[in-house]
Structure 1
Amino acid sequence: MSTPYASAAPYYARYRPPYPAELYALLVDRFALDGSQTVLDLGAGPGTLSLPLAPLAEHVYAVDPEPAMLAEGCALAEEHGHRNISWLRGDAAGIGRLCLPRIDLCVIGGAFHRMDRTRVPADLDAMLAPRGGIAVVTSLAAAWPAVVDEVRERFLGPDRGTAARAAATRPADGPAEMEEARDVEDHLAKSAFSRVVTTTWERSTRCTPDQVIGLQFSRACSGPALFGDRKDAFESELRRALRDHYPDGTCTRTVTVAATVATRPRR
């Protein structure tokens, strides 16, 4: 059975922005990645983390419950010549049944809040090497302009539109900015991986109307399947609204990326 991300998968692969290079430099430093390690990407999607990590590891296991996401990732890996990634259908609740080898690093990008945050670190404790650890990566983005919400709600209704807005946006200023990262820290600090450090990077991105529309379709709560035969009408109306709101044709958005690295306490 496919997940709500099935129709969103091609847009997710194409329009979700990559994580900053500083993230991978951090993982190389913290876990001494030199091409000999085994990495698990849990909730991998189309390989947003798996693909950049492939040149840094001996092997990457990309695990996701959605076949369409895995198919997109597999195609991208083939395109970029990454042949050391195994694309496995599964979810966080069943990682122990995948019979994976000893893991040096588990990365989780934007999916930890959908997992059992007590069980997953406990399961990983049995799988990770003594010096291994977990890196949870979250992206905290400024809200979309109001016109995006207004058009989306006209097509999906106020309930679905509100759900989409909550999933698609987070305030990029004030104390709420790091709420999700603090939640990650709290759960990991109570696990066997209680040595927890969070690093953040902030950047501004300029999005064209095509990118704004593609990002709406990349989300489970506003994926193409939800619009049915009104998908093209939604796209046209949103494009027109964006053109009226941004005469120069671009939307600037601030994104904060937080990487929470958790390892076992030193003995």
Structure 2
Amino acid sequence: MTYPDVPFPGLPPEQEALFAAAAATYARYRPGVPDGAVHLLADILRDRSTPVLLDLGTGTGQVPLALRSAVPALAHIEAVDVSPQMLDQARDALVPVLGRCTLTLVHAVADAYAPLAPLPGEEVRAPDLVTCCRSYHWMDGPGVLAMADRVAAPDAAVAIMGDGSLWTHDADWTRALRELIQHYLGSKRRAGTDNSYTEPRRSYEEDLTASAWSDVTEHRIPVARTWTPERVLGYLGTTSFASPELFGERHAAFEEAARALLHSLASDGSLVEHSVFTVLLAQRPERAS
């Protein structure tokens, strides 16, 4: 089920276009959730008889897809995203593996999410875990955390997760690629067709400690990824800093130059990224163990 069934207001046109264009290739080229993070989240839900997941900024459904396999008892998934195209991708990925788990797709900005009222005789399905994976930076963070406090179960947890991007990763090949992107688009990191990236006013940790979810632990999970030049190019097409729309008529020239650069820097056809996937796991203090 998807709701609401009317057009969702308030999404900036350039953001809508960005997500719509990226949806078809996002699942193919974006790295998944590392096993260490999946196990960490699964441990939160393992002792609950019918756990419920609320995944905000679900994209193509990577988090619920990983947890569906790791938590066989998972009873219900609420997957929220601003892009209907992304929700279509999430549905295609999740429906074949649901089994007895139920799924609701919600077209909304995260802080405006509200669960549907239960039917007479039904129990309220309050989330036991609220997740934001590589998506919190798009959101009204304090608003999201306040919403989570309203809807989540008393002993729930919130997980904000991510690992930067190939723009922020520091390696010889990513620095050279970043310089090439800057040659075409200017020195400032782009964030869609009409904006440049700006650092958040405060860190995610500061958002959490100022919220009801102030009992925070940080988990840093080392990740090694191997990229091919073609996979890097596919990934760039899903980003806000190097999507095809930013280059206009120069995109083909950029891709040709980037392909040649990446092949010249690849060792045996591969490019290695050593990254850290960070999970900020938070609870309400009175419920923290």
Counterpart in the other structure of 1:66: 83
Counterpart in the other structure of 1:134: 158
Q: 2:115 & 2:153 partners in 1: Cα distance?
A: 18
User: How far 1:118 moved relative to its partner?
Assistant: 1.7
Structure 2 unmatched runs, 5+: 1-12, 119-124
Question: Higher mean Cα deviation, 97-106 or 86-95?
Answer: 97-106
1:206 aligns with 2:220: no
1:208 is aligned with what amino acid? Answer: T
Q: 1:16 & 1:103 partners in 2: Cα distance?
A: 26
Q: 2:230 & 2:103 partners in 1: Cα distance?
A: 30
How many residue pairs align between the two structures?
253
User: How far 1:230 moved relative to its partner?
Assistant: 4.3
Q: 1:11-90, aligned counterparts within 5 Å? A: 11-32=25-46, 36-55=50-69, 56=71, 57-78=74-95, 80=97, 84-90=102-108
Q: 1:222 & 1:208 partners in 2: Cα distance?
A: 17
Question: Higher mean Cα deviation, 91-100 or 218-227?
Answer: 91-100
Distance 1:223 1:58, change over 3 A: same
CA RMSD of the aligned region, Å? 2.9
Name which of 189, 206, 209 aligns with 1:162. 189
Q: 2:35 & 2:147 partners in 1: Cα distance?
A: 29
Cα shift readout 1:132-152 (whole Å, capped 9, x = no counterpart): 121111113523523312332
Query: Conserved in 2, the CA contact under 8 Å of 1:46 and 1:72?
Result: yes
Q: 2:82 & 2:145 partners in 1: Cα distance?
A: 18
Q: 2:42 & 2:267 partners in 1: Cα distance?
A: 42
Query: Conserved in 1, the CA contact under 8 Å of 2:68 and 2:97?
Result: no
Question: Which structure has more strand as a fraction of its residues?
Answer: 1
2:182 is aligned with what amino acid? Answer: E
Question: Higher mean Cα deviation, 200-209 or 245-254?
Answer: 245-254
Q: 1:124 & 1:25 partners in 2: Cα distance?
A: 22
- Between 1 and 2, higher relative CO (CA 8 Å, sep ≥ 6) is seen in 1
User: How far 1:210 moved relative to its partner?
Assistant: 1.2
User: How far 1:98 moved relative to its partner?
Assistant: 5.3
User: How far 1:88 moved relative to its partner?
Assistant: 1.8
Counterpart in the other structure of 2:175: 146
SS in 2 for 1:262: strand
Identity percentage over the alignment?
29
Cα shift readout 1:54-103 (whole Å, capped 9, x = no counterpart): 34211111100011211222222245566633222111131137558411
Q: 1:31 & 1:123 partners in 2: Cα distance?
A: 21
1:25 is aligned with what amino acid? Answer: H
Q: 2:30 & 2:186 partners in 1: Cα distance?
A: 25
Counterpart in the other structure of 2:3: none
Question: Which structure has more helix as a fraction of its residues?
Answer: 1
1:52 is aligned with what amino acid? Answer: A
Distance 1:235 1:81, change over 3 A: farther
Distance 1:79 1:235, change over 3 A: farther
Q: 1:194 & 1:89 partners in 2: Cα distance?
A: 28
User: How far 1:196 moved relative to its partner?
Assistant: 1.0
Distance 1:105 1:247, change over 3 A: closer
User: How far 1:53 moved relative to its partner?
Assistant: 1.8
Query: Conserved in 1, the CA contact under 8 Å of 2:190 and 2:240?
Result: no
User: How far 1:197 moved relative to its partner?
Assistant: 0.8
- TM-score, normalization: structure 1? 0.83
Q: 1:35 & 1:231 partners in 2: Cα distance?
A: 51
1:217 aligns with 2:237: yes
Query: Conserved in 1, the CA contact under 8 Å of 2:54 and 2:77?
Result: yes
Query: Conserved in 1, the CA contact under 8 Å of 2:265 and 2:271?
Result: no
